[in-house]
Amino acid sequence: MANESTRVRISFTVDLDEVPKRISSLMKEVEAVFDTEAHILGQSADDLIVKGNIKEIVDRINHARTRLMGADLRLEDCQNLLMSYQAAQADLSREQQPEIEGERGVVEEE
């Protein structure tokens, strides 16, 4: 159980316009994990042929899989945030729709 981590969900409030920037930042973090692990795995593939240290390669693969699982969880967070953002935009659009229709509304005659 020493290798297991407990995950918790945290939340905080930001302006709606700031949401895409925050999600983009999270996605860039995932990209960095992918890049790093891809490099390590590529090097490990070469080392398997050159060095033949199977235990070391198995450990590297295990480490990469653990990091990629974390990246997958972060991607799930990004996906959920994007869906919530889209829903908030739709709600805002619906709220503003009556105002727009009212501005275009019928001209009253006196």
pLDDT in tens, 98-107: 665 556 555 4
CA distance 105 to 98: 10
Q: Which amino acid is at 59?
A: D
pLDDT of residue 104: 58
pLDDT of residue 80 exceeding 80: yes
Task: Kindly report the pTM of this predicted structure.
Answer: 0.76
Instruction: Find out whether 56 and 47 touch, Cβ atoms under 8 Å.
Output: yes
